[in-house]
């Protein structure tokens, strides 16, 4: 990747940059509603994210050396889940896995939306089966599927393997089915549009990286409803959180702090926004050669 | 290692546990004088430690698969140094490298002081040469050596290679030369006595791991003078810091916070104590199978 060889002074591999992105994401503060450097939630603490990032390492490395996206993702989730906090970085890893695979491919010149989209387009039915297997390792919030999709309920995990093969859906096609209600799936379908937009924002700043992560989080939260919030609390709550994020940004640090307290009290954690910020940090480290 | 297979529910390798130990160490707060979850220093910030831990990964993995201690250490330091904070975890890696190599050896049944001492005893002159090479990557505080040791000044880095070979000192013997004035070298010489004592303390608690790290830090700081402080500020300052740590522990959180502020204002960072705590966290994760 010419961009990397021009700018990067480090030997960090794409997998290592991805792990570092996960760590920088959780170090950013304030990140209203979520665990951050200054905030633990009752059963989800900072150290669970540290262990999740370290545990994801083998799967991320598999993606970097060109393993199929589905199996690399499943492996990263299995390792991530080896801590007591539960699902810390499932969505972030679902974004990072194809991005790391793209960045690790010697034949790809630069980490662009087009290159990432090509990785996604090359996914197979077996990638979809492995994606389902990942759900065996962790509880992920998922609503009831449409009636005809019942056999493909992700909560069935690896038990859905036969149904996935019968339908013959690739992982890309499966993601397209969810892209209207799931922000991570939408990134898969839209060429990682939000991820690259946030990466540009991060790369253009000269704050320390955790401060850029926090800024990017609030910026994105104010831009569109967080689909993790929508699934858990409904679409109107997700829209309200977006509007309040806009007001908090305009109001300054005190209003951001109050907004943050309010989200924590209501148990609202904008998880999809954090997922996209982690992926964007990876793009900024890998494509723009940002130094820590 | 029977202890590990009995207790550990995770697939984390020794190298991964070592990286996690580095992350948990810096997440512990309050850790008077040092960077922690709530404290950045002017030119040394939390994210430098995150990047240092990720960067050390390849060297730690080399140690885990049985590479010589010296070359694995040099590699871990090279990767650690790929951030703008400078020397974040040099001493911690010097403790972790032989411990990871010991834990990764299938023929060793348990991670004990004796097993670690045997790893140290097996080091060679080439390990010592590689240890010097590690100084090429980072500025480490070191005083003037005794006159007859001038050719072995660590600040010469790889330029000292010939002198090291001429003297024929193994890395263990080289550490023994510094054990009176350097707490990390003393651990090498004393069978990691402090490291294992702190690991026992960490394993016996049931607080979250970062809280155990902070408790262990203050406990150890109150037990003996920190040699990093002694090198930088003199022996009497190091003894005074020890006594004030004792008073702060007895006085409770407010006194600990005031002690912490005072150390930061004076530019006193007890680095050796942090190094030992990181190594102890590794022993607790690896030997006792502590879950995060």
Q: Which residues contact A274 (CB under 8 A, 6 or more apart)?
A: A25, A31, A34, A91, A92, A217
Query: B60-106: per-residue pLDDT in tens?
Result: 999 999 999 999 999 999 999 999 999 999 999 999 999 999 999 99
How much is the average pLDDT of B167-187? 96
Residue of A nearest to B79 (CA): A11
List the end-to-end C-alpha distance of chain B, in Å, as a whole number.
20
- What gap in Å lies between CA B285 and CA B274, rounded to an integer? 17
With respect to residue A179, please indicate whether it lies within any of the assigned structural domains: yes
Question: Is the pLDDT confidence value at B2 over 50?
Answer: no
Note down the domain range covering B117: 2-124+178-287
Cis peptide before B30, with omega less than 30 degrees from 0? yes
Mutation target vs B (from A16, A47, A80; most B CBs, 10 A cutoff):
A47
Look at residue B1 in the predicted model and tell me its pLDDT: 37
A63 touches A15 (CB < 8 A): yes
Alpha-carbon gap, residue A106 to B124, rounded angstroms: 39
B156 in any annotated domain? no
pLDDT of residue A4: 40
- Averaged over B98-124, what is the pLDDT? 97
Residues B205-248 pLDDT 10s = 999 999 999 999 999 999 999 999 999 999 999 999 999 999 99
Q: Which residue, chain included where needed, has tokens 């806009």? A: A246
B16 at interface of A, judged by CB pairs closer than 8 A: yes
CB B136 within 8 Å of CB B97 = no
Task: Kindly tell me if the per-residue pLDDT of A202 is higher than 90.
Answer: yes
Under DSSP, the state recorded for B89 is: S
Contacts of residue A159, Cβ cutoff 8 Å, sequence gap at least 6: none
Rounded Cα–Cα distance for residues A9 and A290 (Å): 9
Average pLDDT over residues A203-215: 95
> Residues B238, B226: contact at Cβ < 8 Å?
yes
In a domain, B130, yes or no: no
CA distances (Å), origin B257, targets A27, A258, B267: 22, 25, 15
CB of B158 closer than 8 Å to CB of B132? yes
Tokens at residue A253, please?
């640090």
Q: How far apart are CA B132 and CA B141, in angstroms?
A: 14
Query: Residue A36: helix, strand or coil by DSSP?
Result: strand
Contact A84 B12 (CB under 8 A): no
pLDDT given at position A154:
85
State residue B4's pLDDT score: 40
Count the domains in chain B: 1
pLDDT at A136 over 80: yes
Q: Residues A42-62, buried b or exposed e (16+ Cβ, 10 A)? A: eebbbbbbbbbbbbbbbbbbb
At residue A265, does pLDDT exceed 50?
yes
The pLDDT of residue B9: 52
> Does residue B155 sit at the A interface (CB-CB below 8 Å)?
no
Q: pLDDT band at residue A98, thresholds of 50, 70 and 90?
A: very high
pLDDT tier for residue A23 given thresholds of 50, 70 and 90? very high
- pLDDT surpasses 80 at B148: no
pLDDT in tens, A44-84: 999 999 999 999 999 999 999 999 999 999 999 999 999 99
For residue A30, say if its preceding peptide bond is cis, omega within 30 degrees of 0: yes
Residue B11's pLDDT band (cuts 50, 70, 90)? confident
Q: Report if residue B143 sits inside a domain.
A: no
In angstroms, rounded to a whole number, what is the distance separating the alpha carbons of residues B177 and B180? 8
How much is the average pLDDT of B180-195? 97
Task: Give me the residues paired with residue B36 across strands.
Answer: B39
> A169 to each of A128, A150, A160, B180, B264, how far by Cα in Å?
7, 14, 12, 67, 58
The confidence score (pLDDT) of residue A3 equals: 39
pLDDT at B6 over 50: no
Mean pLDDT of B17-46: 96
Residue B153 confidence (pLDDT) above 90:
no
Does the CB of A202 have a partner CB in chain B at under 8 Å?
no
CA distance A179 to chain B (A): 33
Cβ of A11 under 8 Å from any chain B Cβ?
yes
- Chain B residues with CB under 8 Å of A45 CB are 208
Q: Is B105 domain-assigned?
A: yes
pLDDT of A2 strictly over 50: no
Contact A208, A215 (CB under 8 A): no
Average pLDDT, stretch A147-157? 82
User: Residue A261, exposed/middle/buried by CB under 10 A (0-12, 13-18, 19+)?
Assistant: middle
Rounded Cα–Cα distance for residues B280 and A226 (Å) = 41
pLDDT for B147: 74
Q: B167 — phi, psi (to 5°)?
A: -75, -25
CA distances B145 to A207, B154, B185, B231, B271, Å, are 40, 9, 15, 12, 20
Q: CB distance B79–A37 less than 8 Å?
A: no
In the structure, what pLDDT confidence band is assigned to residue B8 with cuts at 50, 70 and 90? very low
d(CA A138, CA A271) in angstroms, rounded, equals: 15
Distances (CA, A) of B171 to A186, B127, B143, B161, B189: 55, 6, 19, 12, 11
Chain A interface includes B9 (CB < 8 A): yes
Neighbours of B40 (CB within 10 A): 17
Phi and psi torsions of A148, nearest 5° = -75, -10
Residue B11 domain-assigned? yes
Give the model's confidence band at B10: pLDDT under 50 very low, under 70 low, under 90 confident, else very high. low
* Three-state secondary structure readout of A127-189: HHHHHHHHHHHCCCCCCCCCHHHHHHCHHHHHHHHHHHHHHCCCHHHHHHHHCCCCHHHHHHH
Res. B150 pLDDT band, cuts 50 70 90: confident
**pLDDT (average), residues A157-167:** 90
CATH of the domain at A183: 1.10.4200.10
Give backbone dihedrals phi and psi of A36, rounded to 5 degrees, phi first: -150, -170
Among the partner residues B11, B45, B209, nearest to A208 by beta-carbon distance:
B45
Could you tell me if residue A43 is inside a domain? yes
* Mean model confidence pLDDT for chain A: 93
The mean per-residue pLDDT over the stretch A229-249 comes to 97
So what's the ipTM on this one?
Answer: 0.94
Distance CA B15, CA B26 (A): 17
CA of B24: which chain A residue's CA is closest? A47
CB-count exposure of residue B110 (10 Å: 0-12, 13-18, 19+): middle
Average pLDDT over residues A119-136: 97
Looking at residue B7, its pLDDT comes to 40
* Residue A257 covered by a domain: yes
pLDDT of residue B176 exceeding 60, the answer is yes
Predicted pLDDT at A9: 53
The confidence band for A11, taking pLDDT boundaries of 50, 70 and 90, is confident
């Amino acid at each position: 990747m010419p961009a990397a060889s021009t700018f990067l002074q480090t030997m960090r591999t794409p997998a290592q940059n991805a792990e570092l992105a996960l760590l920088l994401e959780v170090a950013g503060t304030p990140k209203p509603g979520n665990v951050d450097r200054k905030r633990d939630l009752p059963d989800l603490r900072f150290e669970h994210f540290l262990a999740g990032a370290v545990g994801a390492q083998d799967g991320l490395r598999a993606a970097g050396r060109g393993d199929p996206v589905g199996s690399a993702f499943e492996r990263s989730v299995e390792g991530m889940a080896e801590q007591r906090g539960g699902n810390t970085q499932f969505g972030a890893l679902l974004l990072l896995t194809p991005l790391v695979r793209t960045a690790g491919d010697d034949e790809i010149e630069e980490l662009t939306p087009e290159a990432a989209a090509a990785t996604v387009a090359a996914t197979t039915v077996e990638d979809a089966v492995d994606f389902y297997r990942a759900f065996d390792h962790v509880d992920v919030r998922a609503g009831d599927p449409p009636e005809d999709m019942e056999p493909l309920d992700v909560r069935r995990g690896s038990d859905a393997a036969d149904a996935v093969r019968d339908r013959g859906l690739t992982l890309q096609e499966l993601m397209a089915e969810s892209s209207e209600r799931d922000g991570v799936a939408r990134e898969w379908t839209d060429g990682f549009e939000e991820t690259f937009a946030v990466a540009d924002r991060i790369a253009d700043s000269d704050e320390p990286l955790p401060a850029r992560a926090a800024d990017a989080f609030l910026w994105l939260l104010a831009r569109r409803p967080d689909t993790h919030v929508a699934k858990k609390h409904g679409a109107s709550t997700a829209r309200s959180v977006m509007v309040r994020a806009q007001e908090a940004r305009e109001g300054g640090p005190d209003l951001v702090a109050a907004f943050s307290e309010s989200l924590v009290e209501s148990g609202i954690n904008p998880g999809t926004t954090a997922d996209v910020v982690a992926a964007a940090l990876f793009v900024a480290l890998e494509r723009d050669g940002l130094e820590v």
